[in-house]
Every structure is written in structure tokens, then in C-alpha cells.
Structure 1
Amino acid sequence: MGDYTPEVGAAPVPTSPEKQADSTGIKVSSGVLYHQLRDEPLNIVGGRGSYLLTEDGLEILDATCGAAVSCLGHSDERVHEAILDQLKKIPYCYSMFFTNSAAESLAKLLVDSTGGKMSRAYIVSSGTEAVEAAVKMAIQYFTELPVPEPQRVNFISRKSSYHGNTLGSLAVGHHASRRRIYESLLSKNIHHVPQCYPYRRMNTNESTEQYVARLAQELEDEFQRLGPNTVCAFVAETMPGATLGCVPPLPGYLKALKAVCKRHGALFILDEVMSGMGRTGTLHAWEQENVVPDLQTIAKGLGAGYAPIAGLLINKHVVDTLNKGTGAFVHSQTYQGHPVACAAAYRVQQIIQEDNLLPNVRAMGEYLGQRLHERLDSHPHVGDIRGRGLFWAMEFVQDKETKEPYPPSKAISRTLHATGLKPGHAISVIPGSGGIDGANGDHIILAPPYNTTREEIDLIVDRTVRVIQEVLG
């Protein structure tokens, strides 16, 4: 890691269209539909290691790997070479007609990484697509059993969760602000139970075991309310990401929820789009909980941002059921198994192994948590610091004793993010809001690359603390 340094002989930094002027000297407007239409974002023209370079020359410490994506940092030449090599072989072939060696290699690596517990991989282009595929496969599974169960049409997910932005995946999640204007279009077959959220939902006189038992009972009660034999699957992020902010599952929690599903014959689906592929210290976050899902989604750390790629890993018993039934999955995507994306992801996963990065995630994650607690535990407006591996969040409150959140009108998390991007701080953090009830609650996330160092962790924490002090005092 280090400051951005252009390569010798590198091409000159391009000027973006929105900064160019026509012959009259008037700035040319952008053709991009920005997330915030009235705000022109910083234009990134380069990146090396943990740093992003803007066209104005500002070096931004990317303390979150974008959206927990760029797990190797930026511009690893080994991945560039793999991409170029695949481009020369075959850039695209249609998966409905053909397979390709890059997809075969990646799928084999992924299946082997689970010890054979998941027996096939379905490679798509985004976490949202992976969730859509999981929902469809769960429905199809029950139509292909020796004695079909077509009445299983209900899904149970959790509040304050996020599973994607298409209509199907948006319905599975419970991101209030993203759902609000589309509610009339969302499936009514998806129901939500409370999150595992000890900071706010665990009673002061309640033990961990009692709280876990209460959460399991809440899921059981929802099964009973719907009719146990109508529930197709329960869907949960193994460790919640941006919506709730890096809450590790309590010991025994996921095991207790899977037991409810197993008791009633429903599938257990884990969404590891953000928390998986090494982010929490093991390649699959469920390994630390000793809970194997029936279906698992993966994405961000899979390809480290070098190409759009995600996947659905499928448990052997689900594959066997489809194989004994119609022998086909009634679903497809134009770019599934894309050769270039698969080649990039395969090389990324090789590098994670070759460079022994998972132990570094665990060691540096422990150090990051330690430093955050040392610097911020005493801050009057930092209510909770939580995380695992290189996936940490801080939740902010007006009053530490009552845990009263800031009003949404204050936009605390967005202000922290914007302040971080100022030249005086030059750090990018992930802002999150609405985790408490869909409207209230502010947190920020830190998710450095897997090859980060103690020195870089110190720098990340120092800049983050300065940002918090500027905004909250």
C-alpha cells in the first residue's frame, strides 16, 4: 500500500468530458445519470494499492474497497494479465449453448473451497442477479421433489436487510428507502422478522443464549403464522452489510435459525454478497458459524472489482433433486459464466491463496477493531463499534446512555462520508442510515483490502477519527 504513483511511461491522465470545454469555453455537460442528479461526483482517473486518484490530483484513501469490493486494492498487474490473456482466447460465449474453460476453472475452485458441501456454482454478473437466481431455484426445488410441494411460495427474510435492487431481490430485502416508491410492485409472498441486533434489541437482563432463543422463536412464530408447509425458504445475510452495519451473528444464532427451517422442511439461504469471499476472515463467512446453507450467494470479493461477477453456490442435495427431476434450471442470464469475468475472478482467488491473505484479514481485522475501540470507545457520540475480519462499523447516537439516534434530517452518515472526501482528510467510508427502523440510525463502515498493513490501518483509523471529530465534535 502507498500513495498513488503513476507508472513509468504510463499514458497521460485523461480529462473527463464534464471538465472539457467547447470552442466557446462553456463546460460540456455530462451524459451520465449520477446517483444524485444535482451533485457531480469526483471523477476517478487512476488507482494504485489502496488509493484512488481524482482528475484534480487528490489521492483518496479507499478505506472501504468501494462497496467492500476491491479486496486486492487497485490495479494488480497479475489480474490485468489474466484478463488480457482471456480476451485473446475468447471474450464471450453464450452459456445456453456452450461452457468455457474460465468458468469451469472458477466453478471448480469455488466448489472445492466448500469441501464439496456446495456441489455446483452458477456464475452471474451481480449480487442482485445471484439473489434472484437463489429465489427462483428455491421455488423450482420444491416443484422437483419426488412428491412436489407447490404450495411453498412464502419466503421469510429479516428487517433492516439488503439483498439487491431488482423487484424480486428488493422484496426479499427490507431497505426501507429503496423499497418505498416501489412497494406496490413488490411480491406479497415475502415476510420479515427482526434482525440479530444485540446493541438495540437484546435486553439488559437477557443472556446471549436467551436472546438467540427469542430470535429463533420469532422465526418459528412466523412459520406458524404463515403455515409451516407454505414456507419455501428463509434468507439472511450471514453478516449484515450496509443496511445494518457489520453485526456479527451471535454464537448459535444461525444454527438455531437453520434448525427452524430444517424442522419445517424449508431451505436455508445465506447471502454472502458483501460478507463472503474472505471479507470476515474465512473464504465463506458461514465456516465460522459451522452452518452450511442450502443456497449461498457471493459477489463482491469474488472478482475484486476487475469485472462484474457474482455467483450462486448450490448444496449437493439441491443439485441432486434438480438432476433427478427435469435436469435443468429454468433461468438464464446473457452474461452468466462470462469468460473474461471468470478469468479475472479465478486469478483474484489464486492471489488470495498465493499471498496468504486470509490470515492477514484475520490479523489486521483484529488490529483494526482494537484501534477503533482505543480511539473511539470514549467518544460521546459513538454508540457501538462492531465487526469481524476487515468489516467494521461504528453506529452514532446523540446520547450514549439512552442510545437516542440523530434525526434523519441531520444526515449524519452522509455528512461523515462527504467530509471524509475533503482534501484535508481524503478518505472514503461507506455511509449507512435507517438501520433501526428504516428511517433512524446512522453508521459508517470500514472495509480495507485484504493486503492492508498495520501502518495503513493506523492511517485509516486516524483519518476516520478526525472526520468524526470534525462532524460530531
Structure 2
Amino acid sequence: MNAIRYPDGNVLLRNLSREFPVVTHGEGVYLYDAQGRRYLDGSAGALVASVGHGNREVADRIHAQLLQVAYVNGTHFTTEVTEALAARLCAHAPAGLRRAAFLGSGSEAIEAAVKFARQLCVERGQPQRTRVITRVPGYHGNTLYALSMSGRPHYQTFFGPLLSEVVTTPAPYPYRCGLEDYARDGAAHYARLLEETLQRVGPDTVAAFVAEPVIGSSAGAAVPPPGYFEQVSAICRRHGILVIADEVMCGCGRTGRFFASDQVGLTPDLLVLGKGLSGGYAPLSAVLVREDHLEELRQGSGGFMHAQTYLQAPCMTAAGVAVLDYYERHDLVAHAARVGAHLQRRLREVLLPLPHVGSVQGVGLMAGVELVEDKATKRPFPRTRKVVEGLLAELFSRGLVLWPNTGHADGTNGDLLMVGPPLIITEPQVDELVDLLARGLTRFLERS
């Protein structure tokens, strides 16, 4: 069997009109299907597989924990492995973040972080703080409130009546910012827009500001201008608004620092991790909170009013500990910074001269490539042409897997590719990735 096509199989697949190869195994940065075809996983799945596929060191550690105890109810027990993961993360986290809770996905962790912020406001006698501010473009998850916070207007088509009202402000996006000098003027520009938004809705009605330190697929690994987070954090502190750093995609070494917040000058009140934290070997996410905020809850209601079935489950946290051990043994964050610099340089050298490549941006092993119909005006391709979907199919046929996004340019149009391979990738494998991408892109655009 080389593929399953709905309704031939029983799995409810994400796309009902394409065939899905059956993966049999993975090794390092490569995946292999039932027909023996090899794929370079240039996006680590959805920027998840941080320590690569088929990592026996990690798998053996998880297996050992499963034999010891796989599950306990997080409202009744804790375990050594869960305590160890919390201690490891908090020891290196941005200043003040000294407690961690563990859940099963980034969406769950984001929702928990927002609930924590809301509960803290109530404990402080500020029940009027019911709003959350997020940025457009941006993405924070697929559960209903997390989706509400995600700056992707096309989701309104299907789910609009189910989504909650959130307040949005523009996200820093160098290619489409319209500024003469993004690095020089960007921080003040976007901070002013945030302040204007707060004054419009009333800053005393806002509980939290949620932002990705380096924006994920919604803006193609957009890096904020210098000083941006210092300025917006100061605004939030002045108005009593909590800052939540969403590092689900950009955290865990992806940018060349374990915490992306450290790289961009952000000291958040809450921080959320996921994806690379477990490397895909188990569902796992984390919410890190400040000790002083936890003390406010202890003095009030007595604790954080949140629990889920797999809260603190050792089958998950064992994956996190195993991945962190692998990071340390192989100095993986430093490796990601070094090889990431090579990736960024090669992508720019090879892709920017090509027709229809509008921008290449990013940091570390996280990059975005924006395709445009007209480079002079930055005009995007019409969405009806489905350019990025066609390109992905071309690349897939050549054995390269990347991650797409659409709609960032104006809410409807816009074609982006995300490059984010496993952190174990080598420089020769980066060259292979860039070569496959360039040849596939050139061939696809010649035919289009």
C-alpha cells in the first residue's frame, strides 16, 4: 500500500482530495515511505522534530518511564520526572519564571496562560479586565479561544460565530511594514500602534498581551525590530497588562537561543513552550509563570483553577527531560545557531535573485520565504492561483517537505514557505535542502 486516499481508509485526513504516502520510518532529518522514497523533512513536521527522527536515545528514555509509571492525575500526584523537567526549564528561563505546568499541546498551554492571566486579574480585584490583545498576523493555536487570538481572518469563514472577541494590533513584519528603515523606526512605530489600540479599547479592560517573540508561519519567521519588546513591555507594565510570550514554535533552541524571548529582549510574565520541547516523541507543552504571581493566587483562591486529563503526566514530561538531556550532550542550541547562520546565508544567496521571491527572513533554523507576483510592488499572487500549494506539491515530489501559510499579505492573499528543519541538521544537509528548494521553485515557476 503506497497511499491512502479518503474514503478508502478510515482516518479523517486533513486534506480530503490528495493522497498521503505511508511513512514507515525516519532517520535524522529524513523520512521514508512504504515505496522506499526518501523525504528531507525541511520543516521538522510543523517545526516539531527538534532532535530528529528515530532518535534512540530519546525513545529509550521514554520507554523506561512508561515501564515505571505512564500516567498519574496531576491534581493528586507529582512525579520525579515532572519535577525534574520543571526545574530544568525554570533554571534557565527569563527572569522571574519559576513555576511550570505541563499540558499536551501548544493550544492547551496558550489557553491555560490566558486563564492564569484572567484569574490573576480577578484575584487583584480587577474583574473588568476581560480582553486580550494579540497581533495580526499571528497564530496561537486551534482550540476555539486560541483560534480567536490567531490573526488569520480566513478562519472567520467557517468558525466566526464560535470565536470570541479579541483586540488586535499590527505585528512587526519587515517586508510589508511600509517604513523607510524598519530597524531604526520599527519599535517606536509598532509601540505607538499598540498604545493607540489600548487607548481605543480602554487599557484597564485588558488582561494580557500575547505575542510570538519571533513570529511563526503567519509572518514567515519575522524578527522584531531592535527595542520593540522593551517598548511594548513598558507600555503593558504601565497599564497593568500581563505579557504572554508564545514560544510554541520559536522556542526550544529554534532561533539559536533556547528561549527566543532572551534573543529579542523580552522578559514576559508568562511563557508558553511546545513543539520542539518533546521533539515530537510525545505530546507536550509547558506554561511558565512568575513565582510572585503564584503567591497572589495562593493568598487568594489557593491555587490555579485549571486542570486537564494529562496535566503533568509523566509519559509526556519524560520526553521533555530526554530531549533536554540530548540538547546538553550534543550542545544542540549552539549547533542550531551555527548551522542556522549557514541556512540563513544560503537561502538569501540562492533564492533572493530568483523571480517571484520577494523576501527571505528569519533567524537560526527558522526562516520564511515569501512569494510575490511582482517584486517591484510586492504585489502578492491572487489566492485563486494557490501558488504555495502548487509549489509544495512540486517540492514534495522532489523529496522535500516544507510548511506553508497563506493570507498574510492582506488577510486573503499571500504565499509563504516556512523552513525549519530538525536542529540536528548539518551544513551539507542544509545545502541539499536549499538546492532542492531552488530547483523545485525554478521548475514550478517556469510552468506557472
Q: Shared fold (TM-score greater than 0.5)?
A: yes
1:281 matched to 2:260? The reply is: no
CA deviation map 1:377-397 (0-9, x unaligned): 211211101010100111011
CA deviation map 1:308-366 (0-9, x unaligned): 00011112232222122222111111011111111111110111111001111111111
CA deviation after TM superposition for structure 1 residue 55, in Å: 1.0
TM-score (norm 2): 0.97
* Among candidates 465, 468, 472, match of residue 438 of structure 2: 465
Which consecutive unaligned segments of at least 5 residues does structure 2 have?
none
CA deviation after TM superposition for structure 1 residue 412, in Å: 1.2
Q: Which residue of 2 aligns with 1:201?
A: 177
Distance in 1 (CA, whole Å) between partners of 2:358 and 2:54 is 36
* Among candidates 51, 69, 82, match of residue 48 of structure 2: 69
Distance in 2 (CA, whole Å) between partners of 1:28 and 1:186 is 30
RMSD: 1.6
Alignment CA distance shift 1:280-1:207 (3 Å): closer
1:464 maps to a residue whose letter is L
1:466 maps to a residue whose letter is R
Q: Which residue of 2 aligns with 1:23?
A: none
Kept after mapping to 1: 8 A contact 2:3/2:22: no
Alignment CA distance shift 1:98-1:187 (3 Å): same
1:151 matched to 2:124? The reply is: no
The number of equivalent residue pairs is: 446
Q: Which residue of 2 aligns with 1:178?
A: 155
* Among candidates 141, 150, 153, match of residue 164 of structure 1: 141
Q: Which residue of 1 aligns with 2:421?
A: 448
| Secondary structure, aligned partner of 2:21 | coil
Distance in 2 (CA, whole Å) between partners of 1:450 and 1:435 is 26
Q: Which residue of 2 aligns with 1:6?
A: none
| Secondary structure, aligned partner of 1:421 | helix
* Among candidates 302, 305, 316, match of residue 327 of structure 1: 302
Alignment CA distance shift 1:194-1:18 (3 Å): closer
1:166 maps to a residue whose letter is T
CA deviation after TM superposition for structure 1 residue 289, in Å: 2.0
Distance in 1 (CA, whole Å) between partners of 2:113 and 2:129 is 15
Alignment CA distance shift 1:37-1:199 (3 Å): same
CA deviation map 1:276-306 (0-9, x unaligned): 0110011100111222100111001100000
1:436 matched to 2:409? The reply is: yes
Distance in 2 (CA, whole Å) between partners of 1:454 and 1:209 is 32
Alignment CA distance shift 1:228-1:347 (3 Å): same
1:95 maps to a residue whose letter is G
Distance in 1 (CA, whole Å) between partners of 2:360 and 2:242 is 32
| Secondary structure, aligned partner of 1:130 | helix
Q: Which residue of 1 aligns with 2:344?
A: 369
> Percent identity of the aligned residues?
36
CA deviation after TM superposition for structure 1 residue 186, in Å: 1.3
CA deviation after TM superposition for structure 1 residue 408, in Å: 0.4
Q: Which residue of 2 aligns with 1:350?
A: 325
1:160 maps to a residue whose letter is P
1:103 matched to 2:82? The reply is: yes
1:56 matched to 2:35? The reply is: yes
Kept after mapping to 1: 8 A contact 2:213/2:266: no
Which consecutive unaligned segments of at least 5 residues does structure 1 have?
1-14, 20-26
TM-score (norm 1): 0.92
Kept after mapping to 1: 8 A contact 2:174/2:182: no
Kept after mapping to 2: 8 A contact 1:170/1:179: no
Distance in 2 (CA, whole Å) between partners of 1:56 and 1:306 is 24
| Secondary structure, aligned partner of 2:287 | strand
2:15 maps to a residue whose letter is Q
Q: Which residue of 1 aligns with 2:222?
A: 247
Distance in 1 (CA, whole Å) between partners of 2:82 and 2:401 is 33
* Among candidates 419, 427, 439, match of residue 400 of structure 2: 427
Give runs of ≥4 in structure 1 deviating > 6 Å.
none
Tell me which structure has the larger Cα radius of gyration: 1
